[in-house]
């Protein structure tokens, strides 16, 4: 790098023979076309007050819920963070959905390992009574707003173990469920379809 | 240690003077040394003889069976030296299914006995930690008993989504 910053409009220094310093030759090292101070002034003096004024008029005309709520819903449905809750073979399909072939992250779905960072619980697998209270604890640790997807037949209704002594016949006996995904196990496409259905639900959220 | 018994008859001849009338017999059983049937009063003496004298150092399984009129507890042992399995089984009355624990002889029997107690209600006396293994604490039934009735899922309430 050259020692002194290059002022705008100044002639470029001649390239050094040995390629040093290189930075002065790169476009990023040149002075910006619009000085940074002017952009800040534009933001502070004109854009934000104008935006506030337009938004205030829109809220006064249509009501706060119709203006603010869609923004929150748009942000929420495009950044669903599911909790790792793999109990059985459905978790394999859950993991495959985040692999290279299906790439669920392109919908903004990023699995997190802590319930306090999540707003979506995808229950994939057979829920037993032994683990039921742990599921409720993790659900209650998730911050509002939160949603639950029951993935697979076992989480939906107990599956082949519906009348068994140790299996919860459907995770909706423990926590409220928004979307059910059938299949044993569902393919990753089905899981993505369930997430898109949930995004439709969030899109119409009014509260 | 005497020479290792190779047949059920040799095993019966070895155990008979040590257990007396508490040994009910040794039957042949496929791919094992045999199946020892014993009264529950001789459990500890039989366990000690099997582990200390006959080198059956590994208790692979403790299983409980509900035969409605009585219950049965089956121990499956493995000997590294003899490379043989052996089965021990005792019949227990259905109204008083108790037997001495094998935890003091084989610590690996601990969880197996918890499972047998939980599923078919066989009480292992002097067990150090006899509580639920597969079912939640406070579960009131023993679900692999023949008298156990499956629950009706429709009776449970569905948590509805708040609106």
SS3 track for A144-207: CCCEEEEEHHHHHHCHHHCCCCCECCCHHHCCCCCEEECCCCCCHHHHHHHHHHHHHHHHCCCC
Residue at A2 is within a domain? no
CATH number at residue B105: 3.30.460.80
CA-based radius of gyration for chain B: 19
Helix-, strand-, coil-residue percentages of chain A, each rounded to 5:
50, 10, 40
Residue B139 contacts A, CB cutoff 8 Å: yes
Overall number of domains in chain A:
2
The residue among A21, A52, A77 that closes a domain is: A77
Q: Please answer whether residues A191 and A151 qualify as being in contact, where contact means their C-beta atoms are separated by less than 8 angstroms.
A: yes
Q: Percentage of residues in chain B with pLDDT exceeding 70?
A: 94
**Residue A105 sits in the same domain as residue A45:** no
* pLDDT at site A13: 55
* pLDDT at site B32: 92
Residue at B2 is within a domain? no
SS3 call for B86: strand
User: Which residues in chain A are contacts of B162 at CB distance < 8 A?
Assistant: 176
**Residue A50 sits in the same domain as residue A90:** no
Residue B78 contacts A, CB cutoff 8 Å: no
Tell me the shortest Cα–Cα distance from B159 to chain A, in angstroms: 5
**Residue A73 sits in the same domain as residue A88:** no
* pLDDT at site A9: 55
Decide the pairing of beta strands A82-83 and A120-124.
parallel
Q: C-alpha B2: how far from its chain's center? A: 27
pLDDT by position in tens, chain A (length 207): 445 555 555 555 554 444 444 444 444 445 545 455 555 655 565 667 777 777 788 788 877 777 778 888 888 889 999 998 888 899 999 999 999 999 999 999 999 989 999 999 999 989 998 898 899 999 999 998 899 999 999 999 888 888 888 888 889 888 999 999 999 999 999 999 999 999 999 888 876
**Residue A187 sits in the same domain as residue A95:** yes
**Does the bond joining A8 to the residue before it have cis omega, within 30 degrees of 0?**
no
Residue at A108 is within a domain? yes
Q: Where are the alpha helices (H) located in chain B, listed in sequence order?
A: 8-19, 43-48, 109-120
User: Which residues in chain B are contacts of A145 at CB distance < 8 A?
Assistant: none
* pLDDT at site B136: 85
DSSP E strand stretches across B5-153: 23-27, 35-38, 58-66, 70-79, 84-93, 98-100, 123-125
**Residue A90 sits in the same domain as residue A139:** yes
User: What is the 8-class DSSP label of residue B100?
Assistant: E
Residue at B163 is within a domain? no
Residue B135 contacts A, CB cutoff 8 Å: yes
Overall number of domains in chain B:
1
Residue A127 belongs to domain spanning: 82-203
Q: Please answer whether residues B78 and B54 qualify as being in contact, where contact means their C-beta atoms are separated by less than 8 angstroms.
A: no
**Residue A130 sits in the same domain as residue A153:** yes
* pLDDT at site A38: 56
Residue at B47 is within a domain? yes
Residue at B115 is within a domain? yes
Residue at B160 is within a domain? no
What is the rounded (10 degree) CA torsion for B48, B52, B54, B60? 70
d(CA A81, CA B74): 49
SS3 call for B135: coil
Mean pLDDT of B40-57: 92
d(CA A176, CA A136): 10
**Residue A64 sits in the same domain as residue A148:** no
Query: Which tokens sit at A190?
Result: 């089905």
Q: Is residue B1 predicted with pLDDT exceeding 60?
A: no
User: What is the 8-class DSSP label of residue A112?
Assistant: B
Tell me the shortest Cα–Cα distance from A175 to chain B, in angstroms: 6
The residue among A77, A103, A135 that closes a domain is: A77
CATH number at residue A143: 3.40.50.12280
Q: Which of B136, B152, B153 sits opposite A129 (nearest CB)?
A: B136
Residue at B40 is within a domain? yes
**Residue A91 sits in the same domain as residue A68:** no
Residue B44 belongs to domain spanning: 8-155
The residue among A24, A44, A77 that closes a domain is: A77
Residue at A25 is within a domain? no
**Residue A122 sits in the same domain as residue A197:** yes
* pLDDT at site A20: 45
Residue at A95 is within a domain? yes
Residue at A19 is within a domain? no
> What contacts B160, CB < 8 A, 6 or more positions away?
A176
Q: What is the Cβ-side half-sphere exposure of residue B16, based on CA atoms within 13 angstroms? A: 9
Q: C-alpha A44: how far from its chain's center? A: 30
Q: Which of A163, A174, A178 sits opposite B153 (nearest CB)?
A: A163
Query: Which tokens sit at B10?
Result: 């040799």
- Higher local confidence (pLDDT), B65 or A53: B65
Residue at A20 is within a domain? no
Residue B138 contacts A, CB cutoff 8 Å: no
Q: How confident is the model at residue B35 (pLDDT cuts 50, 70, 90)?
A: very high
Residue A157 contacts B, CB cutoff 8 Å: yes
Residue B161 contacts A, CB cutoff 8 Å: yes
Residue at A14 is within a domain? no
Mean pLDDT of B143-158: 78
* pLDDT at site A117: 93
**Residue A69 sits in the same domain as residue A108:** no
SS3 call for B129: coil
Query: Which tokens sit at B64?
Result: 């409980």
Residue at A149 is within a domain? yes
**Residue A158 sits in the same domain as residue A110:** yes
Query: Which tokens sit at B29?
Result: 């059983």
């Amino acid at each position: 790098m050259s020692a002194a910053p290059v002022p705008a409009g100044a002639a470029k220094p001649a390239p050094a023979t040995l390629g040093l310093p290189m930075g002065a030759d790169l476009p990023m090292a040149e002075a910006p076309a619009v000085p940074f101070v002017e952009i800040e002034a534009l933001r502070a003096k004109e854009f934000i007050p104008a935006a506030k004024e337009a938004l205030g008029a829109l809220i006064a005309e249509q009501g706060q819920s119709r203006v603010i709520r869609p923004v929150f819903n748009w942000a929420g449905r495009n950044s669903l963070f599911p909790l790792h809750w793999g109990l059985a073979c459905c978790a394999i399909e859950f993991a495959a959905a985040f692999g290279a072939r299906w790439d669920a992250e392109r919908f903004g779905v990023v699995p997190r390992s802590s319930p306090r960072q999540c707003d979506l619980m995808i229950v994939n697998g057979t829920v037993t009574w032994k683990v039921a209270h742990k599921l409720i604890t993790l659900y209650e640790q998730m911050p509002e707003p939160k949603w639950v997807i029951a993935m697979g037949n076992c989480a939906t209704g107990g599956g082949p173990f519906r009348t068994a002594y140790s299996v919860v016949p459907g995770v909706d006996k423990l926590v409220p469920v928004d979307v059910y995904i059938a299949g044993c196990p569902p393919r990753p496409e089905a899981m993505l379809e369930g997430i898109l259905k949930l995004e439709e639900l969030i899109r119409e959220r009014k509260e | 240690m005497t020479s290792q018994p190779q047949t059920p008859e040799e095993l019966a001849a070895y155990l008979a003077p040590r257990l007396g009338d508490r040994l009910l017999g040794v039957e042949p059983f496929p791919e094992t040394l045999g199946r020892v049937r014993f009264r529950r009063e001789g459990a500890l003496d039989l366990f000690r003889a099997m582990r200390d004298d006959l080198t059956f150092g590994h208790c692979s399984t403790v299983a409980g069976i509900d035969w409605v009129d009585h219950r049965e507890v089956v121990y499956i042992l493995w000997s590294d030296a003899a490379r043989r399995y052996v089965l021990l089984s005792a019949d227990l009355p259905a109204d008083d299914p108790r037997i001495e624990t094998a935890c003091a002889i084989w610590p690996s029997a601990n969880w197996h006995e918890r499972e047998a107690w939980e599923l078919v209600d066989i009480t292992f006396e002097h067990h150090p930690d006899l509580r639920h293994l597969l079912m939640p604490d406070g579960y009131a039934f023993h679900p692999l008993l023949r008298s156990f009735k499956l629950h009706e899922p429709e009776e449970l309430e569905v948590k509805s989504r708040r609106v």
